[in-house]
Amino acid sequence: MTARNKKILWWTGGAVIAALVLLYFFCPPVHKLGNALLGRNEKELPRPDTLKTDEYEYGRPVEELEVETIEVPKDSLLDSLLLADSLMAKGLVKPIVGPPPAHVEGFGEGPLPPAPSVDDLPNTSKEAMQEITPVAITELEPFESTNSVVSNKIRTCRSSYNKLVKLYNDFTKTPTAELQEQGAKRKEEMLNELTQLMKLSQAKNDDAGMEEAATLRREVNKMNF
């Protein structure tokens, strides 16, 4: 036998052995046949997809456990709440079984506390009212934009805000229905202008315009016509 034939024979034998090993590990019939030839008696354990009803623990059947049922008295309030949570229709709640509610000593007896006055309510004092009064445009921190379009819009909003503050001051001195209606309309228009300024500043990525719009909006929201 030549060296070449011996090499072919060795390669063939190795391939056959490798194929048998793979079949032994991955083919169940060959695995069982191999165990039988080797004399191994492996007990087959059920898999999760098995149809058998027996349960196994460490390869041995588990005996059925006898349990004792403990009778617990029912809680009518808990049962009623559980039933109310599970029912879809309204008004089908199980009534609570028990004595009717009785009077609690000390509850609801004696005179009622005095009604709150204007002085007792928060943020209604003269000092607090002065704190929320909108300031003039000259007292606000100016925000100058380098963008010409945003800068023109800022000047327009400042002019409108200055007119609105004058109207609000007149309304606080002499609150008439005409000034109230005119002020509410001007306030709504001013808020719309500030919304346009904010959107324009966001589109141009201009911080000064956004700061100006936010500052003026805070002051405009203080005006209650």
The whole-number average pLDDT for the span 11-17 is 87
Residues near 95 by Cβ (< 8 Å), separated by ≥ 6?
80
Reported as a single tens digit per residue, the pLDDT across 100-141 is: 777 777 777 777 777 766 555 555 444 444 445 677 777 777
pLDDT of residue 131: 47
Reported as a single tens digit per residue, the pLDDT across 143-176 is: 888 898 999 999 899 899 989 998 988 888 888 8
Which CA distances in Å does 111 have to 102, 114, 115, 116, 185? 21, 9, 12, 15, 47
* Residue 47 binned pLDDT confidence (cut-offs 50, 70, 90): low
This prediction's pTM: 0.42
Give yes or no for a contact between 152 and 197, defined as CB atoms under 8 angstroms apart.
no
- The rounded radius of gyration (Å) of the Cα atoms in the chain is 44
d(CA 118, CA 124): 7
Pairwise pLDDT comparison (68 vs 170), residue with the higher score: 170
pLDDT of residue 126: 45
